[in-house]
Structure 1
């Protein structure tokens, strides 16, 4: 049984506590199908999230099978299923792949046979078997709602919370979904709570909870609603609620609640006597129930599932694949177009001193001219590679977490370990970073020549790409929307060039504060230090910015990566439900 006793949830606004859910008290027995209805903004979804534990109650207590959830721990992931308003499946995947991934992330199966049986059972229960090979993006609204239910049923939850799963559906699809939820409530004593704004198909529910401004205005059988509110039709209930303040409706309900509870108890007894409702025996009875919590899969199972799913989504997104190929192919070509200027010879000063002063001056001017021409070109080409790889890093990860945040939060609620999720992201992005960086280094060196230690230069290109990828992944983890993450990541890349000092030296008073945070500077400086002596001198002759030792550059880029991953971890662990 689920029981709420004077449960409240309030937010702080303008220095005062504003209750969104106010002193809600209800009892919901096993095998019960209840609708939560009320005008927009009355607290329906807020109450559902409070029951789920997403909103910490500010007053009262919630009990599940006699267990005080506020004192004895929240629901285990297998006890509860939560179907939010948004889609919890990825468009490129098929129905079967979506259910399989949900099962692998939430249920520890002994073998493949058990996994297949669980998937087949859920597809059968929700009527999705005939369309199991269809991609999510081509499903209708009703089919997506069925898929959302299926992905929650893989762990056999005893409490299923559904938030507006019928909104936006045509009347036929709405009735089919309500009927499906009704059937689900009749299996294994499952409680199903459905938040809905619609007042259609109420006859399928065992009880209706009507909220008004966060307070209970009614909780009883659906056939008693019109009588209680003194209206002729259920569509008149919402206008009727607006005629009195919520406190008056709540006070009135408290006077009549016991009589309506007795009606619901009688209806429940009748359904059990006729066999329409079968509730498994509770533990401790003559025939103890054999239900037990479904064990969560281990870290490596979740990691492997997430990584496999991410690659599958990547290769099915043609736009993303073409973009990555275009970047990998075009960016190195852009660099090589300008590399010819960096291949020129740098004349040396003559070992013998000339007696002709004019000839010596001309020689110095020629050498300095060569140094300026070649040094400037090499410095610019190195920075060009660094900035392009920074741009690749931004493209790799700016939307990686923020773009799928709602799905991630939902999967985390269902038992997904943030560590497994973050590790899968790092593994996926590491493959992109290594491929992009090494290809850039080898391509440019093959069609041009890096006039220094190629291995060190390639290492710095790899590190700057990894650093910017990690930084933008942290941004993606900390931002609430993909648009915010993308915009901030673009700004970060945009400031790499001017703040690096490679083109125009910054004042020392500014440089000392900006340099530690500019990945492009450390990769550029480390690569310049890897140049041959004569070429290195040529570059130094045309720049005003001081260079740092290679060890310092390595440590700085490594620190960028580590700090960014720590920030990503913090953002991934922090709840960000809307």
Structure 2
């Protein structure tokens, strides 16, 4: 079966008094962008690590595109799923950018003669070909994240998980990474899972999952969830500019259509009214 299915998942960290997840059920569609939001400690990153097999649930089952997430299947699973973490430096092991990408391929026992074209193609996809021989630690934050993504793309996964991967970047760097991920999703048919508090990143998703109280408390199309500003404020996540503007207009008695507007759509609607 396509997609990612978590069924009746319970997980408790060693030494913890309460479970991080308790009876969680979630389906993540294939070839879509799904964003997980919620308060810090709500279990979002736990879900990501369970999907990648880095953690093992105490109860429940997980299927990734028809493959059961079990110890026996970890090799196959890691060929399908790649994670980009908040701090990319934690993922670097090579002396150069190219060496770092080669490390993942070596773990999969890719023959040396096949590595060069895979490394070149992955760097081309993230716009980093001129820095193949650079030392990863000398790169900017955005460049480091692009190298981390390139290392994952070289493994040709079907699923990329971004665990607050843009939170340490400045606005320009963050937008560069988000535009890159969106292009990769469109061009390559990737399934994207992002964990974020950033309203711009949330707005780019197809589906938003709200995690709280150890399970899923809301799940639906991004445009539907992002209209629930009371919920977003309660979670402590950002509210998209278009929705904030809409709420301000409604509060002042302006009749605005019920559907969700992005910032650009809101500007376009206002222009039409003023014209």
TM over 0.5: yes
Q: What TM-score do you get using the length of structure 1 for normalisation?
A: 0.37
Give distance in 1, aligned partners of 2:32 and 2:56: 24
SS for the counterpart of 2:45 is: helix
Aligned partner of 1:215 in structure 2 is: 215
Give distance in 2, aligned partners of 1:173 and 1:36: 21
Runs of 4+ in 1 over 6 A off after TM superposition: none
> After superposition, what is the alpha-carbon deviation per residue over 1:177-224, rounded to whole angstroms, capped at 9, x for unaligned?
122222223344321212223233322111111112322122222211
Aligned partner of 2:82 in structure 1 is: 81
* Residue correspondence of structure 1 range 143-542 to structure 2 within 5 A: 143-227=143-227, 229=228, 231=230, 236-239=233-236
Aligned partner of 1:3 in structure 2 is: 5
More helix by share: 1
> After superposition, what is the alpha-carbon deviation per residue over 1:229-269, rounded to whole angstroms, capped at 9, x for unaligned?
354xx8625259xxxxxxxxxxxxxxxxxxxxxxxxxxxxx
Once the two structures are TM-superposed, the CA of residue 12 in structure 1 deviates from its matched residue by: 5.1
SS for the counterpart of 2:169 is: coil
How many residues align? The count is 232
More strand by share: 2
CA separation of 1:4 and 1:121: change in aligned 2, threshold 3 A? same
Q: CA RMSD in A?
A: 2.5
Q: What TM-score do you get using the length of structure 2 for normalisation?
A: 0.75
Aligned partner of 1:100 in structure 2 is: 102
Give distance in 2, aligned partners of 1:131 and 1:10: 42
Are 1:185 and 1:191, in contact at CA under 8 Å, matched by a contact in 2? yes
Give distance in 2, aligned partners of 1:192 and 1:239: 23
Give distance in 2, aligned partners of 1:168 and 1:149: 15
Once the two structures are TM-superposed, the CA of residue 130 in structure 1 deviates from its matched residue by: 2.7
Are 1:41 and 1:213, in contact at CA under 8 Å, matched by a contact in 2? no
Aligned partner of 1:21 in structure 2 is: 21
Are 2:6 and 2:62, in contact at CA under 8 Å, matched by a contact in 1? yes
> After superposition, what is the alpha-carbon deviation per residue over 1:29-82, rounded to whole angstroms, capped at 9, x for unaligned?
221111112111111111111111111112221112234334973461322212
Higher RCO (C-alpha under 8 Å, 6+ residues apart)? 2
SS for the counterpart of 1:219 is: strand
> After superposition, what is the alpha-carbon deviation per residue over 1:412-431, rounded to whole angstroms, capped at 9, x for unaligned?
xxxxxxxxxxxxxxxxxxxx
Are 2:20 and 2:43, in contact at CA under 8 Å, matched by a contact in 1? yes
SS for the counterpart of 2:127 is: coil
Aligned partner of 1:56 in structure 2 is: 56
Are 2:38 and 2:210, in contact at CA under 8 Å, matched by a contact in 1? yes
SS for the counterpart of 2:165 is: coil
Q: Which runs of 5+ in 2 are unaligned?
A: 238-275
CA separation of 1:171 and 1:230: change in aligned 2, threshold 3 A? closer
CA separation of 1:39 and 1:138: change in aligned 2, threshold 3 A? same
Give distance in 2, aligned partners of 1:201 and 1:161: 13
CA separation of 1:11 and 1:68: change in aligned 2, threshold 3 A? same
Give distance in 2, aligned partners of 1:107 and 1:47: 28
Are 2:35 and 2:207, in contact at CA under 8 Å, matched by a contact in 1? yes
> After superposition, what is the alpha-carbon deviation per residue over 1:152-190, rounded to whole angstroms, capped at 9, x for unaligned?
121111122222211111112112212222222334432
Give distance in 1, aligned partners of 2:59 and 2:186: 32
> After superposition, what is the alpha-carbon deviation per residue over 1:437-464, rounded to whole angstroms, capped at 9, x for unaligned?
xxxxxxxxxxxxxxxxxxxxxxxxxxxx
Aligned partner of 1:43 in structure 2 is: 43
Q: Which runs of 5+ in 1 are unaligned?
A: 241-578
Give distance in 1, aligned partners of 2:20 and 2:159: 23
